[in-house]
Amino acid sequence: MAKINENYLQLKSSYLFSEIAKRIKEFESKNSTQKLIKMGIGDVTEPLPEACMQALHAATDEMGKRESFKGYGPEQGYSFLRELIAANDFKNISPSISPDEIFVSDGSKCDTGNLQELFSLDSVVGIPDPVYPVYLDSNVMAGRAGNFSDGSYNKIKYLNTSLETGFLPNPPSEKLDLVYLCSPNNPTGAVFTKERLKAWVDYARQNKAIILFDAAYFAFIQDENLPKSIYEIEGANEVAIEFRSFSKTAGFTGTRCAYTIIPKECFGFSENGEKHSLHSLWLRRQSTKFNGVSYPIQKAAAAVYSEEGKQQVAKLIAGYMKNAQIIREELTKKGLKCVGGDNAPYIWVETGTDSWQFFDMLLNKASVVCTPGVGFGKCGEGYIRFSAFNSRENVEEAMTRISRLEF
């Protein structure tokens, strides 16, 4: 009899987005006059940079000729792309990162979801609250989360955050084996300073823990003093794996390309205390269960690092960050306390009511959709998330409507 992995039965159904969709549907069935503006979605809206499109066209033509046709590529990505990433993203901030420590993949969601496979099922896992739900769900599926009751899993160590902690977690007194950190954070838009990130690296070195550092939004950091990579912190190479993506940087959410850095100095341990290279384990994992990213897509990603590509990406990001500024300024003017939006495309807003109540009010009074913060974890209650991924026109119209509200 084929028995299922019963850990899946411990998953809570993804209530958040289905509930949002349901409330929108109900609202629209009653109100047909005003255009709905969706300010909750973490998906890009602007076209692919011209340089990437040109590269995609050129690579497509290569696939049509026998001399330049590409079959299976290396599972860990083509050297041309890994070398560009090392030279452009790391050479200045952490020159020890070499191209063969970079694994190209089809998405950070896949990598953050799959990477836990390398670790023992009895690992103690620390997960910030609120945060991107894939870290938790992938560990629930693997069986590391235990049972769900009273709104939480009994084996997960929730790293609670609040306005006082700047919506980022500090290292706990207890020992963790694995820690997920996300900076710039989704959903709060908060970014670790070097000092706070150093505290985590020191903690991990002391406890032989591994930090899974999600830097998918690094390109939105404007303040030069804030770390864009965990490898800016001394010693991080020994204890940290970093996830990065072209999704938000260059508008690749529908084109699919990302990369994960696993330094060769980064080790896990077997029961008997022996060191094992996580780089080797991940290479083995990817060689067995992954077949590399589409060649034309890797060429499109490489174009992000051309001179034109860099300029076009900078323009894209500046556009979204201007949106963030407009949103943050308007909401602040209305007396709402905001975090994020200065070094991240998300604005995290204290509502003074519960998350869903504020969501309903915005929907009903302004036809504007946001994301209730409680959907990202218990500590998100009383907050909502605004996304800067939208056209300028939509952002301005939404803010005009909100400016007229009384609350």
Residues 31-60 that bind a second copy (CB under 8 A): 43-48, 50, 53, 56-57, 60
* Minimum CB distance to a second copy, residue 244 (Å): 15
Give residues 65-94 in contact with a second copy (rule: CB under 8 A).
Answer: 65-66, 69-73
- Residue 330 vs 397, nearer CB to a second copy: 397
Distance between CA atoms of residues 389 and 92, nearest Å:
29
* Minimum CB distance to a second copy, residue 9 (Å): 7
Contact 239, 211 (CB under 8 A): yes
Nearest-CA neighbor of 103 among 115, 117, 120, 94? Answer: 115
Query: Coil, strand or helix: which one is 383?
Result: strand
* Minimum CB distance to a second copy, residue 118 (Å): 6
Contact 168, 161 (CB under 8 A): yes
Query: Coil, strand or helix: which one is 27?
Result: helix
Give residues 262-291 in contact with a second copy (rule: CB under 8 A).
Answer: 268-271, 276, 278, 281, 284-285, 287-291
- Residue 245 vs 351, nearer CB to a second copy: 245
Cβ-proximal residues to 243 (8 Å cutoff; 6+ apart), any chain: 108, 111, 112, 212, 213, 214, 215, 216, 258, 260
Q: Name which position in 26, 28, 61, 329 contacts a second copy (CB under 8 A).
A: 61
Give residues 235-254 in contact with a second copy (rule: CB under 8 A).
Answer: 251, 253-254
Give residues 128-147 in contact with a second copy (rule: CB under 8 A).
Answer: 134, 137-138, 141
Give residues 102-121 in contact with a second copy (rule: CB under 8 A).
Answer: 106-107, 109-110, 113-114, 117-121
* x-or-dash string of contact with a second copy, 294-313, rule CB under 8 A: xxxx----------------
Q: Does 64 bind a second copy (CB under 8 A)?
A: yes
With tokens 């050297």, the residue in question is: 79
- Residue 96 vs 391, nearer CB to a second copy: 391
Nearest-CA neighbor of 369 among 342, 330, 338, 397? Answer: 397
Q: Does 392 bind a second copy (CB under 8 A)?
A: no
- CA dihedral for 210, 123, 190, 186, sign (positive or negative): positive
* Minimum CB distance to a second copy, residue 165 (Å): 24
- Residue 25 vs 66, nearer CB to a second copy: 66
Contact 38, 371 (CB under 8 A): no
Instruction: Count the Cβ atoms, other than its own, within 10 Å of residue 224.
Output: 6
- Residue 206 vs 357, nearer CB to a second copy: 206
* Minimum CB distance to a second copy, residue 185 (Å): 20
- Residue 32 vs 288, nearer CB to a second copy: 288
* Minimum CB distance to a second copy, residue 57 (Å): 6
Contacts 24+ apart (CB under 8 A), 168-173: 168/128, 168/192, 168/196, 169/126, 169/128, 170/196, 170/199, 171/199, 171/200, 171/202, 171/203, 172/126
With tokens 């969501």, the residue in question is: 359
Give residues 190-219 in contact with a second copy (rule: CB under 8 A).
Answer: 207-210
